Amino acid sequence: MKKDIPEIEDLIAGINDPDVTLGTTPRTSEGESPLIVSSHIPSGESASVSDDDKCWQDFLSLLETDELTTDKNDRLVCKLDRDLADSLDDCDIHNRSRSDLVNAIVRAFFTTYLGKLAKYRREKKSLFVNFKEEYDGKD
Does residue 124 form part of some domain? Answer: no
Structurally, how many domains does the chain consist of? 1
**Mean predicted confidence (pLDDT) in 104-109:** 91
pLDDT of residue 136: 53
pLDDT at 32: 43
- Tell which wins on pLDDT, 8 or 70: 8
Q: Report pLDDT digits (tens) over 13-53.
A: 666 555 544 444 444 444 444 433 334 444 445 555 677 78
Find the domain containing 102 and state its range: 53-66+79-118
In this predicted structure, the answer to whether residue 127 has a pLDDT above a threshold of 60 is yes
pLDDT > 90: percent of the chain? 20
Average pLDDT, the chain: 72
Output the DSSP codes for 55-111: HHHHHHHHHHSSS-SS-GGG-------HHHHHHHHH--STT--HHHHHHHHHHHHHH
In a domain, 28, yes or no: no
